[in-house]
Amino acid sequence: MPKVLPTAVAAAVLAAAAFLLNPTPEQHRAKIRSTIAQRSPLAGAMGLGALAAFTSSYHSLGIASYTTVNGRISSIGVLGWVYVPSRGTAG
């Protein structure tokens, strides 16, 4: 029983950190814009990243979040970190 308490406390701290550090919609949008511009300078110059970021829908799961564009996942975030999958692997 004494070993359960530290594990429970660590799990509670991790869950609280996940809630507090869940990326905001603007963090997702900024990452989408920068990633698209980085992957394709032409798309970045044409503003396609800004368009995708503007049309994205933010969804929060409390401890994690994601955005979608046209029903496809465009970014995933957890603990303050946002990942934008390449189009070939998303959905």
With 80 as the cut, is the pLDDT of residue 91 above it? no
Cβ atoms of 3 and 43 within 8 Å: the answer is no
Per the confidence metrics, is the pTM higher than 0.85?
Answer: no
Whether 44 has a pLDDT exceeding 90, the answer reads: no
- Give the 3-state secondary structure of 25-73: HHHHHHHHHHHHHHHCHHHHHHCHHHHHHHHCEEEECCCEEEEEECCEE
What does the domain layout of the chain look like in residue ranges?
A: 4-83
pLDDT number for residue 73: 95
> So what's the pLDDT on residue 49?
87
Proportion of the chain above pLDDT 70, given as a percent: 95
